[in-house]
Amino acid sequence: MGIEHKNGGSSSLDLNVPLLLDQNQSKLKDLEASDSDDVNFIGTTSFSKTCFNGLNALTVFCMYIPGIGILSTPYALASGGWISLILLFTIATATFYSGLLIQRCMDWDPNIKTYPDIGYQAFGRKGKVIVSVLMHMELYLVATGFLILEGDNLQNLLPNVEYFEFGGLTIGGKQGFIIIVALIILPTVWLDNLSLLSYISATGVLASLFIIGSVLWIGVFDGIGFQQRGEFINWDGIPTAVSLFAFCYCAHPVFPTLYSSMHKRHQFSNVLIVCFVLGTLCYASMAILGYLMFGSEVQSQITLNLPTNKLSSRIAIYTTLVNPISKYALMVTPIINATEAWFPYHFNKRLFRHIVGTSVVMSTVLVALAVPFFGSLMSLVGAFLSINASVTLPCLCYLKISGSYQKFNGEMVGIGLVIVTGIFVVIFGTYVSLIDIIHMSKIW
């Protein structure tokens, strides 16, 4: 069964919006265009560049911000205890394998160019819609996480700002910072050309390393030290740890784009090895550093623990603060495009796009104000969305596309165990995250 691509019709849902904007946008647009005639297009991206893009995806996707995943790893380790490092490596292994399954799915049919195409090839239109909805939900909640992150860190930098007054209405400092940041971000959502923002986003890998270096400097030279021993295991926090670690490996929706852009596609497995090994080393390093420095007191973002009177701390915090302003628009653009596709084309396209973009920003602000709990929200994203998108769906799609589900062999048993484990994590991780959000809402 080939992939059907339709372009047009007021009711069609735009499911092929690329989630990773490369520097060469025109090439990716051609690559992912839904009505492309050249189904055997061979990319021109080199091995090294694809490795860089893959690392960028691992460290910043869904986030498209260096550090949003890395910032949470110390908190994840503190939640589950030292033993949860094994869970980090287990999740890394499972998601690496599911990345290989995505490659096999694309090799099965050259028409497959995007992640929703894999869902279509496996389960038809319903599969494509499910994959697309999960992707857009993840983007939306990560964009919301941007605003919460900004509010938390600005309040940490400016603790004396306890409240704001807007038109006679008094609101708390964190809420005010969220609104101010949203107003600053809003014009970037109106831009027609996001190429400049995509260039800035390409610094994700370097910025993540920069943040790790700053935290290490603070621990070694700024008097914090590494004296905290921590707990070996905390059973109550294991679901949170698993969910947050899974959140770090949610780059799978961009893997088809990376694969299609490669000149030597047989090297893609080597690209995955490089990306996952280096990415996991970064996550583990930050988790260990943060847990040794702050122990059980580590917060959902390591930057909230850093002493703000130190230059190295301010550098790390400023690096974290600046990036959402440039990358928020990249996250919500696929959502805006998909929303536009639902409406007739006789609308004033530019004006309508601005209205949709503004509505998306306003809605993320409302969610951020209603659920301003970064750790719990990202844990929910990891448990419900990242596990499904990065583990469960690739396995299910591969079994269906390859026909392996009809054969009882070692591969099918292994994939079946991964699927069952993924479903288990989705159920319990989502439940724990929702309970945490409800509990924190009551005491907020």
**∠ at Cα 232 (229, 233), nearest 5°?**
135
- Whole-angstrom Cα distance, residue 305 to residue 290? 9
- What lies within 8 Å, CB to CB, of 151 at 6+ separation is 174, 175, 177, 178, 181, 368, 372
Per residue in 147-198, pLDDT (tens digit) is: 999 999 999 999 988 888 877 788 888 999 999 999 999 998 887 766 665 5
**Least reliable range by pLDDT among 109-113, 189-193, 214-218, 291-295:** 189-193
- Output Rg (C-alpha) for the chain, integer angstroms: 21
Q: Side chain identity at 390, as an amino acid letter?
A: S
Q: What is the DSSP letter of 45?
A: B
- Whole-angstrom Cα distance, residue 418 to residue 19? 26
Q: How confident is the model at residue 265 (pLDDT cuts 50, 70, 90)?
A: confident
Region 266-276 average pLDDT: 84
- Whole-angstrom Cα distance, residue 58 to residue 62? 9
Look at residue 401 in the predicted model and tell me its pLDDT.
92
Look at residue 258 in the predicted model and tell me its pLDDT.
75
Q: How confident is the model at residue 16 (pLDDT cuts 50, 70, 90)?
A: very low
Per residue in 222-260, pLDDT (tens digit) is: 889 999 999 999 999 999 999 999 999 988 887 887 787
Q: What share of the chain is helix, strand, coil (3-state, %, to 5)?
A: 70, 0, 25
**∠ at Cα 75 (420, 321), nearest 5°?**
115
Q: Where are the alpha helices (DSSP H) in 158-203?
A: 173-189, 195-201
Look at residue 403 in the predicted model and tell me its pLDDT.
86
Look at residue 141 in the predicted model and tell me its pLDDT.
93
Look at residue 15 in the predicted model and tell me its pLDDT.
42
Polymer length of the chain: 444
Per residue in 380-407, pLDDT (tens digit) is: 999 999 999 999 999 999 999 988 777 7
Q: Which fold has domain 25-443?
A: Amino acid/polyamine transporter I (1.20.1740)
Closest CA to 332 of 438, 191, 189: 189
- Whole-angstrom Cα distance, residue 184 to residue 329? 11
